[in-house]
């Protein structure tokens, strides 16, 4: 279990800092208040310190792996240079190797900046790294860039969201339109609910980030 601490003038501010830093939703973090100092009446200066407990996901990770071959060495070098240009101090290493897939982990105290809102910055970094990989080697393995196990936590969050939304549309006999998501996230929602007999999904919108609508099959109202 990984633990991180955040401070704010009150509990809400401390929690918002944690959410922004970790790139997660409120429901995705387990918060413990470890210190609370109230400010004197009519004066500022109150302080709340919270401790956030995060489950460590090791399913896809084999720990820190040494780069193997010129391709992996050049990718690590490229990511290091990219992070340096952003102005962040980080340790970059290979976290796993799978069939036609390599994991790159960026370990930094500024992981919130790297992850961005709902992982959009991390997704952009991954796109840039894969473009660079295609210039280094034809038919290169796909590069998965992660920080603070964000991707596995986000995946669990989306699966939970899918089931919660399915329960909601069953109760209302209506539909619900979810937030805009990238293709991987939308596919995860579709796959999670694909075996639900009374609920179905469809993607709406244009461009890379589309929204998933979850609807009750017995209802004619999908919008």
Averaged over successive runs of 10 residues, the pLDDT of the chain (223 residues) comes to: 74 79 67 68 66 56 73 94 90 90 91 85 92 92 91 87 93 92 91 92 90 83 55
Beta-bridge mates of residue 104: 94, 145
pLDDT of residue 53: 65
Q: Give the side-chain half-sphere CA count within 13 A for 181.
A: 23
Q: To the nearest 5 percent, what fractions of the chain are helix, strand and coil?
A: 40, 30, 30
pLDDT of residue 35: 72
Asked if 119 and 23 touch (Cβ cutoff 8 Å), the reply is yes
pLDDT of residue 98: 87
pLDDT of residue 47: 83
pLDDT of residue 62: 46
Phi and psi at 176, nearest 5°, equal: -140, 135
Task: Label residues 185-215 b or e (16+ Cβ within 10 Å = b).
Answer: bbebbbebbeebeebbbeeeeeeebbebbbb
pLDDT of residue 60: 42
C-alpha 146: how far from chain center: 8
Q: Give the side-chain half-sphere CA count within 13 A for 70.
A: 2
Coil/strand/helix, residue 71: helix
pLDDT of residue 63: 62
pLDDT of residue 38: 65
The domains of the chain, with CATH numbers, are 2-54 (no CATH), 69-148 (3.30.300.20), 152-216 (3.30.1370.50)
Q: Which helix (H) or strand (E) holds 5?
A: strand 2-8
pLDDT of residue 15: 80
Q: Which helix (H) or strand (E) holds 43?
A: none
Task: Please give the angle made by the CA atoms of 189, 174 and 180, to the nearest 5 degrees.
Answer: 35
pLDDT of residue 148: 86
């Amino acid at each position: 279990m990984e633990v991180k601490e955040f401070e704010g003038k009150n509990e809400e501010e401390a929690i918002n800092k944690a959410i922004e830093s970790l790139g997660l939703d409120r429901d995705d973090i387990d918060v413990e208040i470890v210190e609370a100092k109230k400010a004197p009446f009519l004066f500022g200066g109150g302080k709340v310190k919270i401790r956030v407990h995060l489950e460590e996901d090791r399913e896809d990770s084999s720990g820190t792996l040494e780069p193997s071959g010129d391709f992996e060495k050049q990718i690590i070098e490229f990511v290091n240079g990219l992070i340096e240009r952003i102005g962040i101090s980080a340790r970059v290493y290979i976290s796993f190797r799978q069939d036609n897939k390599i994991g790159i982990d960026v370990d930094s105290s500024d992981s919130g900046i790297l992850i961005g809102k709902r992982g959009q910055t991390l997704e952009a970094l991954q796109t840039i790294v894969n473009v660079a990989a295609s210039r280094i080697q034809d038919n290169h393995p796909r590069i998965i860039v992660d920080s603070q196990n964000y991707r596995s936590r986000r995946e669990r969050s989306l699966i939970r969201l899918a089931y919660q939304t399915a329960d909601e549309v069953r109760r209302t006999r209506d539909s619900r339109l979810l937030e805009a998501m990238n293709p991987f996230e939308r596919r995860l929602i579709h796959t999670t609910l694909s075996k639900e007999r009374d609920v179905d999904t469809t993607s709406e919108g244009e461009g890379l980030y589309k929204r998933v609508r979850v609807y009750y099959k017995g209802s004619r109202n999908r919008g």
